[in-house]
Structures are given as C-alpha cells and as structure tokens.
Amino acid sequence: MHPMLDPDRLYASARCVFDIEADAIRGLSARIDSSFFRACALMLDCTGRVVVSGMGKSGHIANKIAATLASTGTPAFFVHPAEASHGDLGMITDKDLVLALSNSGETDELLAILPLIKRQGIPLVAMSGNPNSSLARLADVHIDVSVPVEACPLNLAPTSSTTATLVMGDALAIALLEARGFTADDFARSHPAGSLGRKLLLRISDIMHSGDQVPRVASGSSVSDALIEMTRKGLGLTAVVDGDHRVLGVFTDGDLRRTLDDAEIDLRGTTVDAIMTVRAKTITSEKLAVEAARLMEDFTIHALLVVDSAGKLVGALNIHDLLRARVV
C-alpha cells in the first residue's frame, strides 16, 4: 500500500467534493429567471436543431447536453468549435440555434466562430461562469453558471463548474420536454433498444408463437392427446378450442399435477374438458408485451393464450418468451 494512503483522509476529501459541488448546484436555483425563460422560448421557436458547442471539459459537457436534448424531444447535436473553423461550420443552418458553453467565456476557438454565427442571424444562447465575458456580451441570452469555487483543492481543475453547467443543461432539457408535452412513448421511440423502449413499444404480436406453434386440442380430446400436444409445443399448456377455434379453456401442467393428486379421477377415461381451467387468462395480440408480464405476475401463471376480438385462438406465449425479449 502506498505510504501516503490514509483512508480517513481519502474519505474526507471525497465528502468535501460532494459538499462543494452540492452547494454549487443549490446556488443555480436563483439563476432560474427571465434569462432561463428566454433561452427556453428561443429553443422552442427553433425550427432546426440546437447546436451545442464547447472546448475541453466544456466540450464534454456540451456533448452530453446535446445527447440529453436529442433524447427528450429537442433535436440537437454537438459541434467541436475548433473543427467548426475548418469546415464543420457548414453543418449549422440559419434555422438552427447555437448553445455555447465556456466557463471563462473567453475560449478562443469558440469566439472565433461566433461572428459568423451572428452574421447568419442564428440565435445564440450562452452558458458561462462570467456574465461580463465576451461570450456573454455576444449572446442573445446568457445563463450564469458561475460557481464560488472548484472542488479541486487547487481551484484549477474544472469540477464544480462542469457539474453546474451539466445540471443547467439538464434543467433546460427537462423544461423543454415538459413544454413540448413529450411523453414516455415519445422517449421510447428514440430509445428502441433500451429497456424502456422494449417495454413501451414491444407488442404481444412481436413475440408470441403463432400458426402451428400454438398448442391446441379440440374439445372432447383425451387427456393423453392434450399431454402429447403440450409436450410437443413446449409452452407448458395447451388451449382447448371448439370447432371455430374459440378458446373454451386451457390445460396446463398445473392442472395435470392437481389431477394426479385426485385418486378418484381416471385419466384413461377422462376428457380434457373435465379437468381444464375454464376461465383461461387470455390477452389480445395488439397489447404491449409488458401487459402480459403484469398478468402473469398478478395471477401467478407462466403462460398466456392470445385471442382475437371474437375469442378465437391466434397465439400463445410464456414467461421465457418475455425473458428472451428482455421485457422482464
């Protein structure tokens, strides 16, 4: 172990960082004022995209803010200010809005492209820690994200300042989300591969077994026929249907166990109708897969039959299908 490695000293240092950065964030609350409102109004009026830019650590924060805006209903992307001076400025159109980040407000690479942005009549919103900076003076709206002190003991490494800027960017993104009426379904559409996207977009029809894969036997079939069908299809159940394929009941491995425990029932002379579950839990194919998971949990079952509006069997699924689809 390193001779200077003192656990108590490390813990105290970490807690000091938490306290300093928490104080910096609390100080932002007073900056939610008319400047914040005007920034939101400009972004809502923007018919193009919000172009977020910053250098160094501010660039990393700008990239994250752009991603948050884009995923919450405000089209946005990041442009590196140095690259902008070498051709990437062509990515910005007169329908866009620029959100510029610089703690000092005097970042050379950023200031170099601002005259061209202003000449195009592109709205400029700035976030900096210096309300008297060049960036603040050039901006249509300036949001003050200054902090009393960095969490770095040398007061040099961007720590509190980057946290404050990130939080203000989140505040803008969420305020815009609510102003747009952005919903969970909207969020899912931009996150189709995520767990929320799967829960909000994946439907029963996307994962159910259909056609010949669906276990079914006709009313009046023997228990042995039902067992063979259930084993062949591997879903732990079989539907019992009438001549029009309407579901009359379901026979599951649970029904079989209960029947085996009843010494008075002769399986060889019993039809599946006599021991099936009559009030089978069913779901329709257009429902969300997460609703199937909820039904299974509520009724402590592991599989469901899928029916159409007339009660005719169209599919089946079990808990393993939901697990494979990562719905649960």
Query: Are 42 and 127 found together in one domain?
Result: yes
Task: Please indicate whether residue 86 or residue 302 has the higher confidence score (pLDDT).
Answer: 302
Query: Are 25 and 132 found together in one domain?
Result: yes
Distances (CA, A) of 46 to 42, 74, 87, 209, 217: 6, 9, 23, 46, 60
Query: Are 134 and 23 found together in one domain?
Result: yes
Final residue in a domain of this structure, among 182, 212, 236: 182
The C-alpha atoms of residue 214 and residue 211 are separated, in whole angstroms, by: 6
Q: What is the pLDDT of residues 293-321, one digit of tens each?
A: 899 999 988 999 999 999 999 999 999 98
Average pLDDT, rounded, for the chain: 89
Domain CATH number, residue 252: 3.10.580.10
Question: What's this model's pTM, rounded to 2 decimal places?
Answer: 0.66
The C-alpha atoms of residue 293 and residue 304 are separated, in whole angstroms, by: 10
pLDDT at 189: 60
Q: Which residues pair with 249 in a beta bridge?
A: 240
In a domain, 112, yes or no: yes
Query: Are 174 and 261 found together in one domain?
Result: no
Query: Are 35 and 76 found together in one domain?
Result: yes
CB 57 within 8 A of CB 196: no
3-state secondary structure of 242: coil
In a domain, 188, yes or no: no
Task: Please indicate whether residue 85 or residue 309 has the higher confidence score (pLDDT).
Answer: 309
The C-alpha atoms of residue 114 and residue 135 are separated, in whole angstroms, by: 8
In a domain, 246, yes or no: yes
Q: What is the pLDDT of residues 214-232, one digit of tens each?
A: 999 999 998 888 988 989 9
In a domain, 189, yes or no: no
In a domain, 192, yes or no: no
Q: What is the 3-state secondary structure (H, E, C) of 18-65?
A: HHHHHHHHHHHHHHCCHHHHHHHHHHHHCCCCEEEEECHHHHHHHHHH
pLDDT over threshold 60, residue 107: yes
Closest CA to 204 of 307, 133, 120: 307
Query: Are 126 and 262 found together in one domain?
Result: no
Task: Please indicate whether residue 191 or residue 166 has the higher confidence score (pLDDT).
Answer: 166
Report residue 169's pLDDT band, with 50, 70 and 90 as the boundaries.
very high
pLDDT at 264: 65
In a domain, 34, yes or no: yes
The number of domains in the chain is 2
Q: Residue 40 corresponds to which tokens in the numbers above?
A: 């939101």
Query: Are 104 and 228 found together in one domain?
Result: no
Residues of the domain holding 13? 7-182
In a domain, 191, yes or no: no
Burial of 253 (0-12, 13-18, 19+ CB in 10 A): middle
Report residue 88's pLDDT band, with 50, 70 and 90 as the boundaries.
confident
Report residue 154's pLDDT band, with 50, 70 and 90 as the boundaries.
confident
Q: Residue 218 corresponds to which tokens in the numbers above?
A: 């006709």
DSSP element (H, E) containing 249:
strand 247-252
In a domain, 198, yes or no: no
Query: Are 172 and 246 found together in one domain?
Result: no
Q: What is the rounded (10 degree) CA torsion for 155, 158, 163, 168?
A: 110
Query: Are 217 and 107 found together in one domain?
Result: no
Query: Are 253 and 140 found together in one domain?
Result: no
Domain CATH number, residue 151: 3.40.50.10490
pLDDT at 253: 83
Out of 101-105, 255-259, 262-266, 300-304, which region has the weakest mean confidence (pLDDT)? 262-266
Query: Are 103 and 228 found together in one domain?
Result: no
Report residue 237's pLDDT band, with 50, 70 and 90 as the boundaries.
very high
Query: Are 173 and 234 found together in one domain?
Result: no
CB 237 within 8 A of CB 252: yes
